[in-house]
Amino acid sequence: MTVTRFAPSPTGHLHVGNIRTALHNFLLAKQAGGRFLLRIDDTDAARSREEYVVAIHADLAWLGLHAEGEERQSARFDLYEAEFERLQAADRVYPCWETPQELELKRKVLLGRGLPPIYDRAALSLSEDDKAAKLAAGELPHWRFLLDRDEPIDWTDGIRGDQKFDPAMMSDPVIRRADGSWLYMLPSVIDDIAMGVTDILRGEDHVSNTAAQVQMFTALGAGVPRFAHEALLVGTEGKLSKRLGSLGAAHFREAGIEPQALVALLGRLGTSDPVDPALGLADLAAHFDLSRFGRAPARFDEVELERVNAAVVHGMPYAAVADRLPDGMDEAAWDAVRPNLTHVREAADWWQVVTGPVDAPAFSEEDRAYLAQAAEALTDLDWSEGVWKALTEALKASTGRKGKPLFLPLRQALTGMDHGPDMGALLPLIGRQKAAERLLAARG
C-alpha cells in the first residue's frame, strides 16, 4: 500500500508552499488507494508551539486533507534513542567536538584552496583518551552520521529522474546536538520506517538531505522509500518571494478564498495540466501523476487564484453558502447575484442593492422624464419573472429608445450601479413598490 506523509514543524503557520506539499502528498496517496499520514515534527522544543499544532489541524481540515494517522516526534524520543544506540554499536555515528567557529574556519580554508568545503572527519582520529579527557572537562560532543564513501548514492526520483551523489563530496551530517537534542535528518528516517512510509514527496531543497538519508535507511536495515522532489514555488516576478512565506490558510480565508479554489490551483501547479476550478480532491487524485510535473519553478499567482475562486463561487449551489449569506437572502437572490461575485461575501453588497437604500446618480432632464414614464409603465405590468423584459419592451415601443439609452438609466435608478447582475433576475427581487419608489425618486 502506498503511504505518504506530511511532516510540518509547529514553529509557525503553514504557508502556501507547505499547503501545496500537503495536498500533493494527499493526492499521491489517494491516487493509489493508499494512506495519507500527518507527523508533527516538534523536536525543537524551544520553537515549537501548541497553538501552531492546532492551526495545522485547522488548516488541513479546511482544505479537506484528512490524515488517516498521526504521530508527534516529541512522543518518540525513546525510539530515537534506541535506534541511535544501534547505529552507535555499528560504528555509523561518531562524536565530534569542533566549535561552530572552528568548523567555519576549516570551511574557509578549503574554499580558499579550491576544495569542497566538507567536514574532514578529524574527530575520527581522536583517541579514547582524548575523548575521555574532553568529557571529563565537561565538553559534550555533537554527533555525526558516518557516510559510506565506497559506493555512490543513487535513486530514481519520481520527478527529477535518475539522481547520483558521490558521498566523498559530502559532509557527514550532524544528527544530534551537544545538548542531546535531535536535528531533522535521523528522526525523520526512523519515523518514516516505523510509520511504513513508502513514498516521500517534498521540495527540491531536500535533495541533498535525501542523499544522506538514503544511507540512513540502509544503515537501519530498511528499504529505501520512493522519493520525488518537486520544484519550489516562485512569485509572478519569477523569483523566490518572501511574500510566499507569509501566505497561509488564514490569509486566504480572510481574503474570501474558497478551499476548493486553492485545491484546484495548487493541485495542478507545477504540472503541464490546465487548472480546472470544477475539480475537487477526488477528481484531482484520480488523475494525479508525478510524470506530469516539470523541473521549472512553479509560479504562484494570486490574480489567477482570484480568477479560479470566482469560477468556483459561480458554481456553488445555494445550500453550500446559505449560512454565509445575509438574513433574508434566498435561493433566487443567490442565483441572481452569484455570476457577478468573486467572493461569497460580496453577495451582501448586492443584497444591499436589493433591500436598499441606493444612491442613484444625477440624471439629465430627458432621462428624468424617461424614468417617470418607466414608473408609470411599471404600475400597469403583471409582476412576474418576466417583468423586466415586459417593462423594457413597453418603454422601447413608447419612447423609441434602444440599447444603452433604454437600459442604463433604468439600471442606475433601480440599483445605483452601472453594471451588475441580470436585471431580469434582480428586478423581481427588488419588488414592485421599491422599484416604483426608486424610479420616482430618480425622476426628481
Q: Which three cell numbers stand for residue 88?
A: 552507535
For 212, which DSSP code?
A: H
* Residue 204: other Cβ atoms inside 10 A: 17
pLDDT band at 329 (very low <50, low <70, confident <90, very high): very high
pLDDT digits (tens, 9 = 90+) for 165-194: 999 999 999 999 999 999 999 999 999 999
- Looking at the DSSP assignment, which residues form a beta bridge with residue 157? 161
Going 421 to 423 to 425 to 426, the CA torsion angle's sign is: positive
pLDDT at 380 over 90: no
**Dihedral angle computed from the Cα positions of residues 226, 230, 232 and 237, in that order, rounded to the nearest 10 degrees:** 180
439 with 414: CB under 8 angstroms?
A: yes
Query: What's residue 202's pLDDT?
Result: 97
pLDDT band at 96 (very low <50, low <70, confident <90, very high): very high
Residue 229 CB-half CA count within 13 A? 16
What is the rounded average pLDDT of the residues 5-22? Answer: 95
pLDDT at 285 over 90: yes
**Dihedral angle computed from the Cα positions of residues 348, 351, 353 and 357, in that order, rounded to the nearest 10 degrees:** -90
Q: What is the mean pLDDT of the chain?
A: 95
The Cα–Cα gap between 278 and 269 comes to 15
pLDDT at 240 over 70: no
* Residue 268: other Cβ atoms inside 10 A: 20
What spatial distance separates the first Cα and last Cα of the chain, rounded to whole Å?
75
H helices of 10-49, where? 16-31
| List of domains in the chain | 79-151+158-176 (3.90.800.10), 318-354 (no CATH), 356-443 (1.10.10.350)
- Looking at the DSSP assignment, which residues form a beta bridge with residue 39? 71
For cell 510524470, name the residue. Answer: 291
59 with 93: CB under 8 angstroms?
A: no
404 marked as binding residue: no
Query: What's residue 239's pLDDT?
Result: 66
Residue 394 CB-half CA count within 13 A? 18
H helices of 122-197, where? 128-136, 185-194
